[in-house]
Chain A
Amino acid sequence: MRNFAVLTENVGKKFDIGTMRQKMLGQQFRYWVQGHQPTRSFWALRNVSFRVEHGEGLGVIGPNGSGKSTLLRILSGILQPNEGRVESNGPVNPFLALGVSLLPQLTVMQNLKLCAALLGYTGREFRRKLDSIIEFSELSDYLYAAVADLSVGWASRVAFSIAIHADLNILLVDETLEVGDAYFREKCKRFFRKIKEQGKTIILVSHSMDDIVGVCDKAVYIDGGRQMAFGDVPSVITKYENTVALRMKKTAEARGT
């Protein structure tokens, strides 16, 4: 096995704006006749390059809308990059967003089963791990409640508990800790440190610098789709916080206070 877990080189992702994601057939026909599509490109992510070793944690920080989730979607293979290179050694858990939308009308149990199947469990593997999944999620009293009836925090544990029990080398976690209560968060962080020791890799998107410091060895700071810094956690966080402070000051000055 090569020694890096995830490697990206000048990764860029472009979205077309000025058109609907799903076009109308008639519209498409008009574009063919006109010979062009009236769209503009928007680079949601560009020139992102970093390298994470096995057993390391990478924190991804940056303001809202900076491209953090897009980056995770690319790493998991859900979106394809338009330029650059992504490589990973070992399967990447594709678990992403906060309150990831499963099928909220169905029960917790059915959602656990579906989620396991989506993450590549077979029926037997799922039954073997079920007890420890339920224990971790602390949802044992709500197994037959509809996910829609649970609180956001509880609901996000469904997919999360499954994902971290999947036998995957690289774990992507997108702001999921944010909705957990203090106890659950602490438990997750402890769990992350444990699996890191087993040589697994964690890529964590978070707005909580405490979480980043507690779990990660390296960090990458993204703003407006561009990589502003990559390196050890304290220096990247300092850079991010300085930018935030500068922005606050500018806003204050603009208001004339």
Chain B
Amino acid sequence: MTYTNRLHVTPQHFWNLVKELTRCEFKLRDQSTLLGFLWTLLHPTLMFVVLYALFVKWMGNHVPSFPMYLLVGVVQWNYFVKGTTGGMTSLLQKSGLISNFIFPRSALVISSVFTNLLIHLLELGVMIPFLFAFGDAPSLKWFLLPGLVLLETVMILGASFLLARLAVDYKDMVRIWEIVTMTGFFVTPIFFPVEIVAPDRRQILLLNPMAQVIAETRKFMVYDQWPSPRVLGILLLFSLALAWFGYRFFKKGEPHFAEKFP
């Protein structure tokens, strides 16, 4: 039998919990101080600078507006990796709360994704002036950006639910995901255009949903084109399905999470 403690969880309670957990997470990462945020910013900045310095001579000839092309790719990929990794380890890092309190464990995953979303938004806030500086005049199409961020967030959330449960069950999940995302960085057109890949292999690369998210964002952030509604539609359906499936998978494992922690 399953026994449920009748602690009432209304949407207000749940929201308050997510808010407090997010606040704690933010403070734990020193994000409430300027210096702490600068450290976070350093990672994508260095990645950008190094990739730019290495490849501008080569890719610069194939890709128009290469700096912006690269910047958008790096920032979005970075959000995906940070978001999913944070979501995956959210239960492991708060194991003390899990073994001592009863509350919807999904709040841990959601607050971790929220924290990374907030950091991503701050990063975008820093990135946009650079886009002004590097690129052409800003276009009204830039207002599509929040939609794309939301889409990516739903995708990250779904993946996080899935990974979070797997990481509780299997100790090596964290390392496996490290390898997957490392490989992902090289097979996603972040610092190269997809055209340099042989046409028959291109299709395989473009099966990667993150490649599509980044490609669509570049269309309107860098090249002043409209993104493809068909691709966006498919991405949205995929993200929602992933979030739904991930959440169900997570919920099924939830009653037994506490047993995995001392």
Q: A interface vs B, CB < 8 Å?
A: 15, 20-26, 28, 73-81, 85-88, 90-92, 94-97, 100-103, 105-106, 110, 113-114, 116-123, 126, 168
Contacts and interface: CB of A to CB of B under 8 A. Distances in A.
B57 interface: no
B159 interface: no
B8 A22 contact: no
Contacts of A81: 1, 3
B103 A120 contact: yes
B27 A119 contact: no
A119 to B, nearest CB: 7
B7 A92 contact: yes
B102 A94 contact: yes
Contact of B8 (A28, A80, A85, A91): A91
B195 interface: no
Contacts of A96: 100
B6 A21 contact: no
A114 B21 contact: yes
Contacts of B20: 113-114, 116-117
A103 B24 contact: yes
Contact of A21 (B1, B27, B261): B261
Q: How large is the interface on B (under 10, 10 to 19, 20 to 34, 35 or more residues)?
A: 35 or more
Contact of B170 (A25, A95, A101, A122): A25
Given A73-B258, A77-B5, A119-B101, A106 B173 contact: no
Sorted from nearest, which 10 A-B pairs have the closest CB atoms? A77-B5, A101-B96, A117-B20, A94-B102, A117-B17, A86-B3, A22-B171, A25-B170, A118-B101, A91-B7
Contacts of B248: none
Given A15-B259, A22-B170, A77 B27 contact: no
B168 A22 contact: yes
Nearest to B256: A80
B202 interface: no
Interface string B246-262: 00000000011011111
Contacts of B258: 73, 78-79
A92 B100 contact: no
Nearest to B17: A117
B259 A94 contact: no
A88 B6 contact: yes
Given A21-B262, A102-B96, 20 more contacts: A22-B168, A23-B170, A24-B171, A26-B172, A75-B5, A77-B4, A78-B102, A79-B258, A90-B6, A92-B6, A96-B100, A100-B100, A106-B27, A106-B28, A116-B20, A117-B17, A117-B19, A119-B7, A120-B7, A122-B12
A95 B261 CA distance: 17
Contacts of A106: 24, 27-28
